């Protein structure tokens, strides 16, 4: 399945060309090498999973993509262009949105305001126009509100739109965080353990949302997840990391039968 040619998945979805290409990424913290010379690509329209045992460097990888960490070595290519070292907010403007492993919502704001904040990269009115409000600022607010309401409908959180986020239970917070990322209409959506700490029903809901997002909006998704059942069902291709190295890359079936991956997860007998 390598090579840049577009292909069609088993369930009939069109996977396009390379959207993001990580080439030889190496990331060090002092003497510790968190990521060692890893290359992989993310194709347009696919669901790409990054898996691996704890401490494998998966979250560090997402942080490199979203601009929190700057790799010492390697290149990040996005939409056919080499990306210069960027701050996270500049990465957001490229159309890359993400959610966090530990929920990172704005607790003091309502659900609606949180999701509206996700539209920030699309809002252009200046300080003066906003101070006057009537006219351009209000029109922009309403236009963006409509898009936000679509996301709210999509994720079925209409009932809580005016609730302060601090009062919501965990599962809903995760959903609001996904809503905030979706509101940005990202080209690439990064999900850092979207199902951590959820019960079975919540996981099923979340899986359905992820598939729907990918299906209806055609959003490319890269996700980190520990639940192997979920990963194998959802993703088109999987990258496996262990101790900062890439030990496997391919379809779920290929990865499942990869001896190195099995060793990393189950351990190797030493005799």
Partner 1 sequence: MLYREAGDFKTSYQADSQTFPIAFDRWRYWAVLVIAFCVVPFFVNAYWANAILVPFLIYAIAAIGLNILTGYCGQVSLGTGGFMAVGAYACYKLMTSFPDVSIVIHIILAGGITAAVGAAFGLPSLRIKGFYLAVATLAAQFFLVWMFNKVSWFYNYSASGQINAPERFVAGIAVTGPNTAPWAQYMICLVFLTICALIARNLTRGTIGRSWMAIRDMDIAAEIIGVNPLKAKLTAFAVSSFFIGISGALFFAVYLGAVEVGEAFGIQKSFLVLFMIIIGGLGSLFGSFAGAAFLVLLPVALKVIGVDLLGWPTDLVAHLQLVIVGALIMFFLIKEPHGLAQLWRLAKEKLRLWPFPY
Per-residue DSSP letters for 61-72? Answer: HHHHHTTSS--S
Cα distance between residue 199 and residue 178, in whole Å: 17
Question: What are the residues binding partner 1 (CB under 8 A)?
Answer: 66, 68, 87-89, 91-93, 97-98, 100, 104-109, 113, 116-118, 120-121, 123, 125, 127, 130-133, 137-138, 140-142, 145-146, 149, 180-181, 184
Closer Cβ to partner 1, 193 or 242, answer by number: 193
Report residue 73: phi and psi, to 5°: -140, 150
Burial (CB < 10 A; 0-12, 13-18, 19+), residue 117, is middle
Closer Cβ to partner 1, 146 or 271, answer by number: 146
Q: How far is the CB of 15 from partner 1 (least distance, A)?
A: 26
Q: How far is the CB of 201 from partner 1 (least distance, A)?
A: 27
Closer Cβ to partner 1, 221 or 255, answer by number: 221
Closer Cβ to partner 1, 76 or 105, answer by number: 105
Q: How far is the CB of 102 from partner 1 (least distance, A)?
A: 10
Q: How far is the CB of 109 from partner 1 (least distance, A)?
A: 5
Closer Cβ to partner 1, 36 or 145, answer by number: 145
Report residue 204: phi and psi, to 5°: -65, -45
Distance of CA 162 to the CA centre of its chain: 26
Yes or no: say if 99 and 178 are a contact pair by the CB < 8 Å rule. Answer: yes
Q: How far is the CB of 136 from partner 1 (least distance, A)?
A: 11
Cα distance between residue 134 and residue 111, in whole Å: 24
């Amino acid at each position: 399945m390598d090579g840049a040619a577009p292909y069609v998945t088993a369930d009939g979805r069109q996977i396009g060309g390379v959207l993001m290409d990580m080439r030889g990424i190496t990331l060090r913290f002092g003497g510790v090498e968190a990521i060692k010379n890893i290359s992989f690509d993310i194709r347009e329209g696919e669901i790409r999973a990054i898996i691996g045992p704890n401490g494998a460097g998966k979250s560090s990888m997402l942080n490199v993509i979203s601009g929190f960490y700057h790799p010492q070595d390697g290149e990040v290519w996005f939409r056919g262009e080499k990306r210069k070292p960027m701050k996270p907010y500049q990465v957001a403007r490229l159309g890359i949105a993400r959610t966090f492993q530990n929920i990172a919502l704005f607790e003091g704001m309502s659900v609606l305001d949180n999701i509206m904040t996700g539209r920030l990269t699309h809002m252009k009115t200046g300080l003066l126009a906003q101070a006057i409000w009537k006219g351009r600022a209000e029109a922009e607010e309403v236009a963006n509100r409509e898009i936000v309401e679509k996301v709210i409908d999509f994720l079925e959180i209409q009932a809580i739109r005016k609730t302060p986020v601090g009062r919501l239970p965990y599962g809903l917070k995760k959903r609001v965080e996904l809503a905030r990322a979706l509101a940005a209409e990202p080209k690439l959506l990064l999900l850092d353990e979207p199902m951590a700490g959820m019960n079975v029903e919540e996981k099923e809901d979340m899986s359905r949302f992820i598939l729907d997002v990918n299906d209806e909006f055609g959003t490319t998704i890269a996700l980190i997840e520990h639940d192997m059942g979920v990963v194998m069902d959802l993703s088109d291709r999987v990258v496996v990391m262990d101790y900062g190295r890439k030990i496997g890359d391919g379809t779920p079936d290929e990865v499942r039968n990869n001896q190195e991956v099995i060793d990393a997860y189950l351990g190797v007998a030493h005799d």
